[in-house]
Structure 1
């Protein structure tokens, strides 16, 4: 009976990898937020990006970066930590056999729900900081950075306001974690089991690309709703249903505003996330001895 040495990801690798990826994809996320907060389709992704650069300079595309990083260090760190910890524990108790897909799905949705709730305050500040440059100077919130934004929301609007839009954030996180994490895990397993792929960057790239396509399609309507609820001034919407009706007035495609930049952002972000994650796992993960029959 042979013994194989494997590298297992540490619980915080998902948060670090996602925070690293966001440095490359934040401008696309900012453009997506600007598009989603339009009630009428005034311009496309490229025109919106040009407008931001013209009005704020190239660094305007990185407005709210600190909040975006903070979001990944709460939301993504939590969901990856829960998913990987539970998956590894269940697998170890089952002679290190891969989990069936339905178990991965259940774990991912549970992890996503917790991560979405934990990450809502940072997500709210992230949306506001990205959208700040779009509104008139006298209405801007002017948060200095992510932590300042959290403190200002708590001080000026109260604790409950910090979780404004949490229902949409949790719903989106459930589907996002399923689409990203569980499907990536499953695609990677299927590719390696085919015999044509191995535990290499090309496999990680292919599996993450396929997962990004699925995740974008499933989460875009929820992402639009989440963005609007978080960016709305107090009292604009009575609840989720009111926001749905308001968005529906612009037609069915109103729920898919920013779809192209969302995919353009989510694709590279998902690919970079898992490439960084796998490199962290392979180089800095803890060692595990597995018996192969």
Structure 2
């Protein structure tokens, strides 16, 4: 009969302010079996911000546990921004699609002067010839573009604000606010430009003589004009998006900041957000409109039957528009239409983005709370 040896017991005590945590560990007995003592569960003193801990786990386990929630929060924030931005862009563009198609048709034609009566006539003729759905012709291309475009734009804007440290620690960095908006516009436009060109092509043609589907637009351009055509007008677009996105985001963020300083409310209601977005849209459209004319002319030069000349560069397009149509009837043709549709679209976009983002964040916090329980 073998002798039963008394197990060795090691006791370690860790002081955390007013609490003592005792962990008891037993080593194996001589018969090869292991007897484990009950261990009290330590509280997460690091995350709670308590002081007075005299010992810490090795291998940086505190740092790893602290970084894990931060990474998860960042990923959740990016995903929320992507979803909210996509939904906001889709809703805004679908709302003003008939006005957008009308504006593009007048932008690319120099033989037809713009007026509200002419705009109404275009809408009536389109409806009579092709039906009500024709007013949304090209909206499928718009959705294929605007969903990733808006998602990327809003998400990249959040990231650029963080990188540039816009308005952090109570500062008022107006210049960085404008730069963050411009960089967000450049980022999204660069990644989705061929879809913008396809949308313009579908908007200025009908389903009988032009393109029937978005796929056909890319196929015909690739075969008949070459793949480089898919980026025709890209630099005019980039030059235009700098003042447009910069001014839009700058105006909206500035109005929200001023509202907070005056009223003390960091979250304006939907109506006020819509008004701030409308003002931002009007300012952005006015600042970039001449370059919007240029990019539309360059994008549609092969399908615009009223245009006999070819304008392969931005400078040549600007010169031709100025010589033949002047400043008001050329560079700002259809701007009054943009003052209607632009504020509506941008107002809906900004306010919808803020509402959906706040709603998704609340859902995320509730879901996380259930998981933690």
TM-score by length of 2: 0.67
Cα distance between partner residues in 2 of 1:43 and 1:55? 21
Please say which of residues 180-189 and 163-172 is displaced more in the overlay: 180-189
**Once the two structures are superposed, what CA deviation does each residue of 1:115-166 show, in whole Å capped at 9, x if it has no partner?**
22222201110111000039xx5xx331413x44234433443321110110
- Which residue of structure 1 lines up, in the alignment, with residue 24 of structure 2? none
1:39 aligns with 2:113: no
1:49 aligns with 2:120: no
1:109 shift after superposition: 1.4
Please say which of residues 86-95 and 234-243 is displaced more in the overlay: 86-95
1:169 aligns with 2:237: yes
1:194 aligns with 2:265: no
Any residues of structure 2 matched to 1:149-160 within 5 Å, and which? 149-160=217-228
Cα distance between partner residues in 2 of 1:284 and 1:150? 36
SS in 1 for 2:111: coil
Cα distance between partner residues in 1 of 2:166 and 2:174? 16
- Which residue of structure 1 lines up, in the alignment, with residue 132 of structure 2? 58
Cα distance between partner residues in 2 of 1:67 and 1:99? 39
1:29 aligns with 2:103: no
- Which residue of structure 1 lines up, in the alignment, with residue 316 of structure 2? 242
Any residues of structure 2 matched to 1:59-208 within 5 Å, and which? 59-88=133-162, 91=165, 94=168, 97=170, 100-133=173-206, 140-145=209-214, 147-195=215-263, 199=267, 200-208=269-277
CA shift in 2, pair 1:243/1:191, >3 Å = same
- Which residue of structure 1 lines up, in the alignment, with residue 292 of structure 2? 223
- Which residue of structure 1 lines up, in the alignment, with residue 351 of structure 2? 275
Contact 1:115–1:173 (CA<8 Å) still a contact in 2? no
1:264 shift after superposition: 1.2
Higher helix share: 1
- Which residue of structure 2 lines up, in the alignment, with residue 291 of structure 1? none
Contact 2:270–2:351 (CA<8 Å) still a contact in 1? yes
1:218 shift after superposition: 0.6
Cα distance between partner residues in 2 of 1:51 and 1:60? 10
Larger radius of gyration: 2
- Which residue of structure 1 lines up, in the alignment, with residue 326 of structure 2? 251
CA shift in 2, pair 1:132/1:73, >3 Å = same
TM-score by length of 1: 0.85
Cα distance between partner residues in 1 of 2:262 and 2:113? 47
User: Once superposed, which parts of structure 1, at least 4 consecutive aligned residues long, lie more than 4 Å away?
Assistant: 89-95
1:257 shift after superposition: 0.9
Cα distance between partner residues in 2 of 1:109 and 1:59? 34
1:201 shift after superposition: 1.1
Cα distance between partner residues in 2 of 1:87 and 1:192? 19
CA shift in 2, pair 1:99/1:119, >3 Å = farther
Cα distance between partner residues in 2 of 1:218 and 1:92? 22
SS in 2 for 1:194: helix
Aligned residues: 275
Question: What runs of 5+ residues in structure 1 fail to find an aligned partner?
Answer: 1-6, 288-293
1:258 shift after superposition: 1.0
